[in-house]
Amino acid sequence: MAVKKPAAKKAPGTLPAQKAATDKKLKNLETKIGKVPKFFRELTTSEPEMFNLVMRFEEHIWDDGKVSKKTKKLIAIAIAAALRDQHAVRAQLAGAKNLGVTKAEVEEALRVTFLLSGMPAYVYGKAQLDEVMK
């Protein structure tokens, strides 16, 4: 008669609790930036510790402080437009919509981009804005 090995014990609820915590972080990120980039989803399985560190940093940056979330979002849109990073501009615009940022507010922020980064950055940002916030 074969002797059965006892099954390895895992902490009760650990995996479901970790998955629920990860899912919550991803949902919060989606609310903040409009969608969850593939990079973040991959980190949840390839490097969960790095994912948690990045998410803590993200939460620290995006939370209201002396500067409101809306203002931070407008700054992010302006920076992404100056860099002409389509993915980042669109993600930040989608997150801005979730925060109630208006098209007029974004246009004003893009005028600051024009002053500091020139016409190409302004035109680029406006083109993305007109696509995302019609």
Would you place residue 10 in the very low, low, confident or very high pLDDT band (cuts 50, 70, 90)? Answer: very low
Q: Which residues of 38-47 are buried (b: 16+ CB within 10 A; e: fewer)?
A: eebeebbeee
Would you place residue 129 in the very low, low, confident or very high pLDDT band (cuts 50, 70, 90)? Answer: very high
Lowest-pLDDT range, 28-37, 47-56, 120-129? 28-37
pLDDT for residue 14: 59
pLDDT for residue 110: 96
**Structural domains of the chain sorted by starting position, each given as residue range(s) with its CATH number in brackets:** 19-63 (no CATH), 65-134 (1.20.1290.10)
Nearest to 94 by CA among 66, 129, 53: 129
pLDDT for residue 9: 45
pTM: 0.74
